[in-house]
A and B are shown apart, each in its own frame.
Chain A
Amino acid sequence: EDQVTQSPEALRLQEGESSSLNCSYTVSGLRGLFWYRQDPGKGPEFLFTLYSAGEEKEKERLKATLTKKESFLHITAPKPEDSATYLCAVHGYNNNDMRFGAGTRLTVKP
């Protein structure tokens, strides 16, 4: 069964303090690994899709990377508006749906 584990559960950073969020996964054939951002009381907002090991994607202060076992979401010089829960999900060839991790709750203090 496809599984996703995210760490840390919560992360508090000072503004400008770069860090990384981890997503470890097991899947029987990866169709895609996804990163979403979710603000309280709202639906998740799509950030990235990664398809194969070695792939990287960037968007503003965020960069997502992928290996055969895990993905990292790197946040460079974060700002308070980057505070949110970041969700990782995988879609395997044996499933029609995505499997989500529990998320990392990021707080960036000014």
Chain B
Amino acid sequence: GAVVSQHPSWVICKSGTSVKIECRSLDFQATTMFWYRQFPKQSLMLMATSNEGSKATYEQGVEKDKFLINHASLTLSTLTVTSAHPEDSSFYICSARGLPNTEAFFGQGTRLTVV
């Protein structure tokens, strides 16, 4: 299967600071990338969908000014959590899909802890 690399795998930051998470498709061109949040023992909650070169589409209830998504190239998308607070602590996962495939491949996830 295709490889998606997510970095960092874990990060601890102070309340009020911003954190950037990178998602790269290593061996295919990702026309669409997805960002999810996952709480313990729960399923994936889609936060936003981004297509290369265009603005991300956010799910209802997700603050676009707090979770900044950039999909500047066909192999890289970034999620920036701005002015992080303890309630933003969670497991964030990206996935990428490239044509003509319908399946998406996931990164390893990023454990964010805000203290």
Query: A32–B106 Cα gap in the complex (Å)?
Result: 17
Q: What is B's interface to A at a CB cutoff of 8 Å?
A: 1, 4, 6, 32, 34, 41-44, 46, 49, 51, 57, 91, 93, 95, 102-109, 111
The reply to whether B103 and A46 contact each other, CB–CB distance below 8 Å, is: yes
Supposing A49-B102, A49-B103 touch, asked if A44 and B44 sit within 8 A by C-beta, the answer is yes
| Chain A residues packing against B (C-beta within 8 Å) | 31-32, 34, 36, 41-46, 49, 51, 87, 91, 96-98, 100-103, 105
Contact B106 A46 (CB under 8 A): yes
Known: A32-B102, A43-B6. A100 touches B43 (CB 8 A): yes
Query: When the two chains form their complex, are residues B49 and A96 in contact, meaning their CB atoms are under 8 A apart?
Result: yes
Q: Which residue of A lies closest to B4 (CB)?
A: A43
9 other A-B residue contacts (CB within 8 Å) besides A44-B93, A96-B32: A41-B111, A43-B93, A46-B104, A46-B105, A96-B49, A97-B46, A98-B104, A100-B44, A102-B43
20 contacts between A and B (CB under 8 A): A31-B102, A32-B102, A32-B103, A41-B111, A42-B108, A43-B4, A43-B95, A43-B106, A43-B109, A44-B44, A46-B103, A46-B104, A46-B106, A49-B103, A87-B43, A91-B102, A96-B57, A97-B34, A98-B104, A102-B43
